[in-house]
Structure 1
Amino acid sequence: MGEGAAKELKSRWLAAAQLGLVSSTFSTLIGQLAASQLGRDAAVDWMTVAAQWADFSWALVFFGLFGRWTSRLAPRTLFWLAIPWAVFTSATEWFGLVPLFPFFQPIFTLQQPYWIGFLVHLSSALIYPLFAWLRWPLRRAPPTSAVRFAKRWAAGALLVLATFGLVSVIDGLGWPLPTLSRDVAGDQRYIRHMVTHHEQGIELAKLGKQRAQDPHLRALAALMVASQQSENRIFDRWWRGWSSEPMALCSSEERLAMPGYLTSAQMADARNAADGEFDAVFIRLMSLHHAGAVQMADNQWHSSGDPRLRLMAHAIRHEQQGEIALMNNVTGIEAVRQATRNMLANNL
């Protein structure tokens, strides 16, 4: 690059900030549009993710702080660096920055499995090849191979957004992508049972939202309500898209056989508990209920069912073990340790 051309380049910090805006916007949109395909509700996920500014900040770190080494990398090299950079950034947040210093928010790590943050950061890092184009003032980028590659990459990113948008619209109209299950009957049984199990969990969590004396427990109960309601909406949408028959109600025998499904007497204990005793009763009963859901989700995760349903089951297994830890005020290093174990297995 000639001296004259180099003088026309923007500050790498300014270009990094612009790239951060583009990459964080892209990852946010992809997250919103792809959430339903992964059994996620983006609105609920935002209850435990403080802000999307993290992707903006990581772009500043990559091209600003490390810009002496990264700002001249070819777009193809930036593409190959996307996965390791996403692993590094998501792991730094999940294992350290958010649950420990400086944010001290164990709910993020305990309630959301690591792979969610990884996918968000990966979608952001995949926009980094645009840096070669954004480094130049508007409409003054020379027709170099790097700039041409970046422009084609931008067009591809827009096509990806449009594709996810179309799939999201079709899914929202009640036509999800066809099931890929090798055990349709098992998937249907799991959906029916988990919907019923969640309905009781929502009833109990609403009591906690209304009556818990500890404000943190009250807020956690509100999150449980939102999470399980959104999961039931996803289950219902998948059922209607994958089955021509309406979802049958679970029989009393099925409810009795469900792990963690509380008896009428146990639910009455929660409703009738004195104010000073309610929190302890709620934690005990919700822990039993969650343990049952974790067992059901773990079985589905290890099944031969639809990959989306299995991935959602993995998230449920992780989040409900994490919520038990949160009800028992687990924080710090212990929260990270438990979250790591919960991501890998049923530990109840």
Structure 2
Amino acid sequence: MNWLDDYKEELHTVFQDSRTIISGFPEPFRSQGLAYLDQFDVFQVHSKKNYICYLLPYWLNRECGLSLEETRRMSTGNVVLMLFFFLQDDLMDNRQSAPAEVLPLANLLYVEFLDLYRPLFPPESLFWSYFRRYITEWADSVAGEAAGDYYWNDRSRVARKASPLKLSSTAALLLSDKSSFIAESEEMLEAVLLTLQMLDDYEDWEEDLAEGSYNCLLSLVRHHLQQDTAILTPAAVKDFIFTTGGLTQYAATAAVNHEKLLSGRLSIPGLTAFHQMLVDNLLHIAAAIEAEKALLQGGGLGYWLSKNMNL
């Protein structure tokens, strides 16, 4: 089973459904919402690909036996809720964002998410208790990240910045009378979300260092050097990555996360395959750095030959 290709046709439907929902908004929120959706549409060139958000309901379908209508509804709900929370993030992270432009659109998206999930769960359903908890986890995590140094002190809280994603896994398990697996599914998702954040933070560390944003890799560097993140320099981070083999240690944490996925009772092959891809990316980057370092240590001629000759 391929974690992405098997679901591309369905994703076309999900994004079309999301586009139809947003097209019903009054202007200027209709235009703003559609433009924002395009930034995350998996079929748009150069869009941000939040695959786990779109695909988690489909990955769960095999284990939970959901109907196609339920699966599509939850995936569309995930897209709408993703946009809602990313708008919140933009407002908190970007001082140039205008609340008067962001908040009305965010609230329209939030109402649409509720309308998608209400038919699945009556008011007395346990789903709404989990809903409250996941929103609380998100609020707690985004509010205290920098001061709490989560990567070093409590890595579960790194993942809980994306706690609302757990709604669709919990929803699927409740609909299929598998609520006994909810705690395990939460742990699995937190392992994947941590690795996903770690990979993003490796790619974004220079920007995050310049802006003073919290970053998992920078946390590791700071503790390695026993320095405050505020006084880290790009040269010091590059030395940690390229000279001391720090990225190998960083990638090892992702590999441990994968073992957690494989050791549980709950089987979600799509999620496991997606996470393996994330882990492999980090491991390959770390291995490539170490291989290039070994070539450099082997002498200038050997390094030149490795770069310029097809042997």
TM exceeding 0.5: no
Task: State the TM-score, normalizing by the size of structure 1.
Answer: 0.29
Which structure carries more relative contact order (alpha carbon 8 Å, separation 6+)? Answer: 1
Task: State the TM-score, normalizing by the size of structure 2.
Answer: 0.31
